[in-house]
Structure 1
Amino acid sequence: MIISVLGSTYINNPRLPFMAVNCQIQVWYPRSDGVDNSGILDTKYWSAYVCYLRRLPRDMERVLELGFQRSLACHRFSLSSGVMLCLELWYNTVLVLLTGNLNNAEVAIDALSICLNINGWEMMISLGFLAAASVRVSNELGRGSSKAAKFSIVVTVLTSFSIGLALFLIFLFVRGKLAYIFTTSHEVASAVADLSPLLAFSILLNSVQPVLSGVAVGAGWQSIVAYINIACYYLVGIPIGVVLGYVMDMHVKGVWIGMLIGTFIQTVVLIIVTYRTDWEKQVIVAHNKINKWFVADPEETRGQVA
């Protein structure tokens, strides 16, 4: 494995000071044009890439050469991964966008922003399991062990779900008390308390769904998950949220409930797909992909020629 979970941590850690300074400047000078978020992001990503590229083993030169030669396949694979992730990230943005058009939107958006911040904190845990599941499943499939791949999936999902269940119970019990970390407004805190059950269910679902997405990445199902996301999120979740929020006058709770329904359906579909997958066949598929990119050791090749 060229890039491990620990390696990704080493790559990402140097980016933290850039983001911390950028966020603090945005707090001090909210209208400052001197700092561009996208520019900071581009700089830190390229800095990490350049620093890590210098440490690649020499045999990676051949791999990179083949990568450029077969760039079309790489672009197609990268595009499907990007679409899958963007569809998931944009989903919460749509929730904020729909809430902004409701009555008394200021309090609703304040409360929703607090809930989404808390949800984002928990999501970082799930994203860690996503990376672990992706790396572990791909490694086991490449090693030819379907049983180990299935065992890794079960362990990762159950571990993440256990953490999510504990946080689910905590947020059901605490409710709006955590809102005072972000605000002194009793009205906003009351709105957060009203949304806390939905926040708790979001955390519970988010403890499983990202892990299954990581399994999909490890197995190479990005394009399939992208179609599932479109159907569940944008054809089911958002329309139901619009109906409940605007037609049924449930406001932000209705919008969030609709989107939770979409997330729940997507999670169920991913569970069914993962359960019904022939993992022995996936091992063969993985080996076929590896053979396309396999680079023989130069010393081994010289020995065979001799």
Structure 2
Amino acid sequence: MDNSMEERLVSPEELSSDDLKKRVWKESTEFWGIAFPGIVARLTSFGMIVVTQLFMGHVSELDLAAFGLQQSILIRFVNGILIGMSSATETLCGQAYGAGQYHMMGIYLQRSWIIDGVAATILLPLFIFTDPLLKLLGQEDDIAKEAGKMSLWFIPILYYYVFSLTIQMFLQAQEKNKIVGLFTASSFVVHVLLSWLFVIKLGFGVAGAMSAFIISAWLLVVEEFVYIFGGWCPLTWKGFTKAAFADMLPLVKLSLSSGVMICLEFWYTSILVLLAGCMKNATVAISAFSIW
């Protein structure tokens, strides 16, 4: 056994109380240095949906119910698939980073954009034909009609997920969690301010709330693009390459299996919102379930 291994294997009896406290403090500091930015990123990313729903409540009861139905069923379904597919990016980028094959991370990222972009386009009819789809599932006509109008506003959000989720996995795999947390937090702050301005001060209603959502979401993507393309990832981003189109089948298989798994987990609570639409006072029930 080499000296470095002997130094690491220290029995509990050999540790003084002060040494143990120092080690616990060091481990905790390193852990939270990685975990806290990730927590901020997840909270603020999901928080943009929550804030939008909050301001929808200032527009009308029907719009709140329509948004709740939309985000709890379609957005949750699509988000689950794309988060799952993006986790394949995290797996492959993490393996490449650990193996020192940094150039492959940029290639995996580009492949993920292609695969996730195709998946999002396949899911696009769900947003175009939301009205008849919700009526087919037994939802009230007025809620389904309003959700159908609102669903077209979600199309830019659909493609925002394609880029944002994969880039976050790409950055986190190379220990750039603080950058991810900073970008998502700044985008969230902009979203709150724009929502207040468009809905409360200017009275733009649904258009204002959704415009604030779209602008702040794509602001996050632009920040991430600037960071990557601007030279802050010199080892892992070497520019666009044709290699991204080669050997895509393994990533497709991994992405699809991950997407189905996460999507099913997300749908456990979505079923409750869907069933709420079959109740007598569906508008209130859907709003309450979706907020909860």
Give the TM interval when normalised to the shorter protein.
0.5 to 0.7
Aligned AA (1:113): G
Aligned AA (1:132): A
- C-alpha distance in 2, partners of 1:183/1:110? 15
Alignment partner of 1:80: what SS?
helix
CA shift, 1:130, in A, is 2.6
Give the 3 Å change call, closer, same or farther, for CA 183–247 of structure 1 in structure 2: farther
Does 1:223 find its partner at 2:178?
yes
Within 5 Å, give how 1:22-37 maps onto structure 2: none
Aligned length: 217
CA shift, 1:241, in A, is 2.3
Q: Show CA shifts across 1:240-293 (max 9, x none).
A: 22222233322123112111110011112112222334555469xxxxxxxxxx
Does 1:199 find its partner at 2:151?
no
Does 1:74 find its partner at 2:31?
yes
- C-alpha distance in 1, partners of 2:236/2:163? 22
Aligned to 1:264, which of 218, 222, 225? 218
CA shift, 1:160, in A, is 0.6
CA shift, 1:121, in A, is 0.4
Segments of structure 1 that go 5 or more residues without pairing to the other structure are: 1-60, 284-306
Alignment partner of 2:38: what SS?
helix
Does 1:148 find its partner at 2:104?
yes
Higher RCO structure (Cα 8 Å, ≥6 apart)? 2
- C-alpha distance in 2, partners of 1:250/1:88? 23
Moved over 6 A (4+): none
Aligned to 1:109, which of 64, 73, 82? 64
Aligned to 1:90: 47
Question: Percent of aligned positions with the same letter in both sequences?
Answer: 11
Segments of structure 2 that go 5 or more residues without pairing to the other structure are: 1-7, 13-19, 238-292
- C-alpha distance in 1, partners of 2:44/2:58? 22
Aligned AA (1:180): K
- C-alpha distance in 2, partners of 1:275/1:133? 18
Aligned to 1:166: 122
Q: Show CA shifts across 1:98-147 (max 9, x none).
A: 21222x3x211110012102111001111113321222112112211122
* TM-score (normalizing by structure 2): 0.67
